[in-house]
A and B are shown apart, each in its own frame.
Chain A
Amino acid sequence: MSDRVSIRVADLVGGSLCISAEDGQKVFEKVLPLLKKSKPINISFDHVDMVISLFLNVAIGQLYGSFSEDEVRALVRVEGLSGDDMELLKHVVDNAKKYYSNPKGYDAAWQEEEEEDEQ
């Protein structure tokens, strides 16, 4: 038996749709204490038909707020996602790394934006 703890996403969200932030949070809350104990985990997307960035931001992207890139890389494995969903996850992970490196930086450039008058 593998030493990795298996997190079966379809079981946690109760179905094949990974489309809400609330369900993403359920997964995150299972993963968080395991990683805090340095337990290697395997996040399985078997039996999941639909996954969107909103869910992945919360379930996985959010990990970078608590753990370093090295820790996540060493402890987390993902399986059961199709090639294009792996690409989506890659976007989410890259975006999360940027976000947590400078969470407020995204907004600063927009403080001066203004155009024609609106009500």
Chain B
Amino acid sequence: MKLNIGTVRSDYAGFNSIARIAEQSHGAFSDSVEVDFSSCNFFEANMAAPLYVVVARLRDELNDVSLINLKSDLDTILRKNHFLTKFQKTTLIDANQTTVPFKVFRLQAGEQFFEYLESCMYGKGIPVMSAALTKRFQQSLFEIFQNAAIHSRSVSGIFTCGQFFPRKHRLDFTIADAGVGIRDNIRQYTGNTKMSSCAAIKWALTEGNTTKTGNQPGGLGLKLLKDFIRMNKGKLQIVSRFGCYEFSAIGDNCKKLDHDFPGTCVNIEINTQDTNSYYLKSEPSSNDIF
């Protein structure tokens, strides 16, 4: 089976393209599957994370997956970010140090994820960001990672990857899982079996909403992430099953994908030149909080 991937950027068309090859290969078992890059003119390296959702699901069904016809510059960047080690290719040194390596984590590996961020993301080609921005960015990534760990039920783990675009002063970081998707969790929780993927994403973004059981409050992680992105003038994308949500300074919208993306992917793009302090003008004291 050959799957034609086309051009993939961190946008609606790119996610749709990945969802399309997932749908085309759905049901394949113990087959040889080639992902063909011959018509791919550009592939943003952070999109390796959602692409691996498709690969992991195929491998879970004992398919032999390979990538073919990669142009040399794409081959180079995907070696630099270690993605091609999953296809038995060696890594290349990232001299410009603009990649945050592709990595697969187990769901419970929060502490390893912290070590990965500490060792891979800072003090390299990626610019030194303000301490406040660095901290809020890390907190945001943890909120996403732990959301995936708690809710995804992804048997293949969590896939992460990042790419710095120096001329745009933008850093994209992507966290994906091959789980059930936001929609299925919320359908199960609310009992509304017809809720669409976009409605489910909106539900998850509403402060206080959580499918976590056990009589505990929750549902702040994605709301806080949105607040951070708003201040930073960055971009947030959440793709889950048929839903493709995007939030940025110009507003938000959710469009239905033409194909079913078999999991959830969150991409955050931050403005690395941001110098916001992220502190309240008057810091709350312990007395003010309770």
Contacts and interface: CB of A to CB of B under 8 A. Distances in A.
A116 B196 contact: yes
A115 B196 contact: yes
B286 A77 contact: yes
A107 B196 contact: no
B191 A111 contact: yes
A47 B119 CA distance: 20
Contacts of A50: 114, 138-139, 142
Chain B interface: which size bin?
35 or more
Contacts of A54: 143, 146, 150, 218, 221
Nearest to B110: A19
Nearest to B196: A115
Most buried by B among A52, A73, A83, A88: A52
A7 interface: no
The 7 closest A-B pairs by CB, nearest first: A83-B283, A115-B196, A99-B217, A114-B194, A53-B220, A73-B290, A96-B217
A76 B111 contact: no
Contact of A19 (B132, B142, B218, B278): B142
B207 interface: yes
A115 B111 contact: no
B143 A53 contact: yes
Interface residues of A, number: 50
Interface string A101-119: 0010011001111111011
Given A54-B143, A83-B280, A118-B241, A19 B114 contact: yes
Interface in B274-290: 278-280, 283-290
A95 B217 contact: yes
A31 interface: no
Interface of B: 110-111, 114, 132, 135-136, 138-139, 142-143, 146, 150, 183, 186, 189-192, 194-199, 203, 206-209, 212, 215-221, 224, 241-242, 256, 260, 278-280, 283-290
9 contacts: A20-B110, A61-B218, A84-B280, A86-B285, A86-B289, A95-B207, A98-B208, A115-B256, A119-B260
A30 interface: no
Interface of A: 15, 17, 19-21, 50-54, 57-58, 61-62, 64-65, 69, 72-73, 76-79, 83-84, 86-93, 95-96, 98-100, 103, 106-107, 110-116, 118-119
B223 to A, nearest CB: 8
A118 to B, nearest CB: 5
Nearest to A20: B110
A62 B216 contact: yes
A84 B199 CA distance: 31
Contacts of B196: 113-116, 118
A52 B143 contact: yes
B253 to A, nearest CB: 13
Given A50-B142, A53-B143, A84-B279, A113 B203 contact: yes
A88 B186 CA distance: 25
A19 B111 CA distance: 8
Contact of B189 (A58, A64, A107): A107
A33 to B, nearest CB: 18
Nearest to B241: A118
Given A15-B111, A69-B290, A111-B191, 19 more contacts: A21-B216, A50-B114, A50-B138, A50-B142, A51-B139, A57-B216, A72-B290, A77-B286, A78-B289, A79-B286, A84-B280, A86-B289, A106-B208, A106-B219, A107-B190, A110-B190, A113-B196, A114-B199, A119-B260
